Amino acid sequence: MWLPSQLPGIQAQIKAAGYKGDVNALADVTKPPLSAVAKVGGATGAFVSKDGLVLTNHHVAFGVIQYNSSKERDLIKNGFVAENREAELPANPDYRVLVTTGFDRITDRILKAAAGKTGRAYYEAIDLAGKAEVKACEQDPGYRCSVVNMHYGSDFYLIKQLELKDIRLVYAPPEAIGNYGDEIDNFMWPRHSGDFTVLRAYVGKDGRPAPYSKDNVPYTPPAFLQISTTPIKDGDYAMLAGYPGTTYRNRTAGEFADQMRWQLPTRVELYGSILKDIAAAAPAGTEAAVKYAAQVQSAKNTLKRAQGELEGMTRSNADTVRKEDEQAMLVWLKKQPNAQAALRDMDAVEKLLADGRATRDADQLFMLMRSQTQVLRAAIQLQRFAIEKKKPDAERESGYQQRDESLIEGNLKQVQRRYDPAVEKAILADLLARYYGLPANQRIQEIDAVFGKDMAGARKTLDSLYATTRLGEESERLRLMKADSAEVAGSTDPVMVAAAKLMRAILAGEQKAKERDGELLRLRPAYMRTLAGFRQSQGRAMYPDANSTLRVSFGKVTGMHVKDGMEYTPVTTVAGITEKHTGKFPFDAPEALRKAIAKGDFGSTKDPVLKSQSVNFMTNLDTTGGNSGSPVMDADGKLIGLNFDSNWEAVSASWMYDPRYKRAIHVDLRYMRWLMAKVYPAPWLLKELNVPAE
């Protein structure tokens, strides 16, 4: 996950891996070829024609497809092929394509404001300085700006992005192709998903971003990528650019140990227990079970992901590897001139992290009481909104500003469709029973005040709260949302009263967290500078942990040694679609596809080695959430694939990149070309993409 600006420094490695292009040209995100990579719908995409065609994942453009679907014209089910440019369909109005036009290091300007400060004041000084930078930058109409920090407060960058607002749907395969295998195949290999969609960005006649208008004209991107017509094969150079969200690879050994020995195991334990609570209180087949389907699905995903991450970190011995690495770093540090100051900051970081861990059990249970309930969560949201709306809009907590109000209202409306008092009481009883088992120093005064000091009292309180609350009614919730702050604060609904009390603990916790976060922001850079120095002494470059900024990864097309006696091969074919096809979701390949596979007319997209049509391929490229839709390029910089997933063994890669197990899964663009040529034809589009029509 290299910053583009780092690439010239590791030029020798990139050349050795097989890249034939100019590495220096990759250093500037605002120049070709990286200026062809855009932030699309929160993930990644790439421009693929001079007239603003954008390629991204089906799942990244899903909202656009859904927005244009109706019972009569089900684009999700049937896919969509625009017959020509006029037939392209406007996206939902809030769908965005962002083109980076500025990426400047402003560390000095940001840190100057925080000089001499500590704790929360340090945090707020940086926050304010950042907001001022953003405000100044956004004076330029049509742009969206943001400040990001690298290496945990060591460096700050101002990012300026052109905000394209008129995006249109050009080509989407049916969902049964774009999401073939759905959750069953998610994270899995072998994979057979046509997870791509083609969009087009439009601008006003003046060339500036504008909302949809039929008079708008196609946007001319600063660069576009040419789709390759050369077959890929095992071992080929591959390179990917995109916007990976968050990684934790440069966290301390103590944080690694905490993740493996407490965070993940307790997450597995608690989500597993909550799922059992729901299953017992809302047995399959009951109306309550239907109401909790979404929460169950989400809890299952959290549980599965935590299990996978724990499994992967354990498989890679992540804690031991990180600890040995850190110990070697400390040995190195002690020989450096500035060791004492660095060690002092690093000790302070350890202490801050340890302080945070002292009440982690109670904090986690309290967090779940707020996130895994429906009515209690709504009450807390209402109390919070009442507090925030008294403030000027700019000073409100994010999530409670004027622009968030429709979202809050939407949340509040959904509650009774997802709520059953027996289930909510069962979840709270479970969490509270665990809470009462904690040592005295973890007790939270406000929880005790609301639910009593022991489980017997808590059960009675729960029964009485849920017997009398009116928050199960939509009208009452919406009334409280519109009511003035004083009325909300004084509400006598028992759950509102409870929420008001709990709010004090929440706000106190937030204060403490901001104080700690400020100190960490101030002190962590010592650790990061030490690590960077140590890496340099090892002759290794070091990238900042992912933070949704544009990164580049290079590697190769490769399968995986699954286990002794079993291998994944790196390219799948349409044969696997037929193998998996059951006729039932999620393995219900459309008839047109099955007929075309049976016919076997693969034309210029046929793989010369596999003698079949490729579908997906695997690389060892470094990715994480946010890399969806990232363009995958070959040694010539031509587009060969579109990233859309990782393998299950790589779930833990957000903490540790283990070259044995980290793989990325891509749509082979030959599959896209074949679908466009032979299955759901769009010859005009192939022509615009400058690839063969057969």
Is 646 a catalytic site residue? Answer: no
User: Nearer Cβ to its own copies, position 195 or 424?
Assistant: 195
With tokens 């249970």, the residue in question is 365
Of 59, 160, 165, 191, the one binding its own copies (CB under 8 A) is: 191
Q: Which of 568, 586, 592, 684 binds its own copies (CB under 8 A)?
A: 568
Alpha carbon 166 to chain centroid, angstroms = 24
Active-site residue, from 35, 49, 58, 59? 59
Catalytic residue among 628, 630, 646, 652: 628
Interface with its own copies, residue 563, by CB under 8 A: yes
Q: How far is the CB of 580 from its own copies (least distance, A)?
A: 8
**Phi/psi at 148 (nearest 5 deg)?**
-120, 150
> From the CA atom positions of the chain, what is the Rg in Å?
27
Which residue type sits at 567?
Answer: E
- 576 near its own copies, judged by CB under 8 A: yes
Question: Minimum distance from CB of 612 to its own copies (Å)?
Answer: 9
Please select the residue that binds its own copies; options are 130, 174, 178, 190, rule is CB under 8 A. Answer: 190
Near its own copies by CB under 8 A, which window of 184-192, 246-254, 493-501, 586-594? 184-192
Cβ-proximal residues to 164 (8 Å cutoff; 6+ apart), any chain: 96, 97, 98, 99, 201, 202, 203, 209, 219
Q: Tell me: does residue 586 bind its own copies (CB under 8 A).
A: no
Phi and psi at 168, nearest 5°, equal -130, 150
Q: Please tell me the count of residues contacting its own copies according to CB under 8 A.
A: 18
Least distance in angstroms from the C-beta of 633 to its own copies: 23
The answer to whether residues 348 and 509 touch, using CB atoms and an 8 Å cutoff, is no
The amino acid sitting at 649 is E
3-state secondary structure of 573: strand
Q: Which is nearer to its own copies, 355 or 579 (CB)?
A: 579
| Rounded alpha-carbon distances, angstroms, from residue 507 to 397, 504, 521 | 11, 5, 21
Span near its own copies by CB under 8 A; candidates 9-17, 344-352, 567-575, 585-593: 567-575
Q: Examine the residue annotation and report whether 666 is marked as an active-site residue of this protein.
A: no
Q: Is cis: bond before 544, omega within 30 of 0?
A: no
For the bound state, the minimum distance from the C-beta of residue 581 to its own copies, rounded and expressed in Å, comes to 12
Q: Does residue 573 interact with its own copies by CB under 8 A?
A: yes
Q: Which is nearer to its own copies, 482 or 584 (CB)?
A: 584
Task: Figure out which of the listed residues 19, 123, 189, 385 binds its own copies, where binding follows CB under 8 A.
Answer: 189
Q: Nearest to residue 554, comparing CAs of 103, 56, 10, 32? A: 10
Q: Say which of 195, 319, 622, 658 is annotated catalytic.
A: 195
Q: Does 564 bind its own copies (CB under 8 A)?
A: yes
Q: How far is the CB of 570 from its own copies (least distance, A)?
A: 8
Residue 579 engages its own copies in binding (rule: CB under 8 A): yes
What is the smallest separation between the CB atom of 561 and its own copies, expressed in angstroms? 9
Active site residue 581: no
Give the amino acid at 677. Answer: A
Stretch that binds its own copies, among 189-197, 373-381, 582-590, 591-599 (CB under 8 A): 189-197
583 binds its own copies (CB under 8 A): no
> DSSP class of residue 51?
T
Instruction: Judge whether 282 and 291 are in contact, CB under 8 Å.
Output: yes
Selected from 295, 553, 572, 647, the binder of its own copies by CB under 8 A is 572
Strands (E), 50-182: 53-56, 80-81, 89-90, 97-105, 143-150, 155-164, 166-172
Question: Do residues 353 and 254 lie in contact, with contact meaning Cβ atoms separated by under 8 Å?
Answer: yes
543 contacts 551 by C-beta, under 8 angstroms = yes
In angstroms, the CA 125 to CA 104 distance is 20
Min dist. Cβ of residue 66 to its own copies (A): 30
H or E stretch covering 353:
helix 339-358
Nearer Cβ to its own copies, position 67 or 568? Answer: 568
Of 16, 394, 440, 566, the one binding its own copies (CB under 8 A) is 566
Asked whether the beta carbons of 194 and 669 are under 8 A apart, the reply is: no
In 3-state terms, what secondary structure has residue 642? Answer: strand
Tell me the residue type at 495: V
Which of 575, 594, 684, 693 touches its own copies (CB under 8 A)?
575
Name the minimum Å distance from CB 577 to its own copies.
8
Task: Point out the residues that are catalytic.
Answer: 59, 195, 628
Interacting residues toward its own copies by CB under 8 A? 189-192, 562-569, 571-573, 575-576, 579
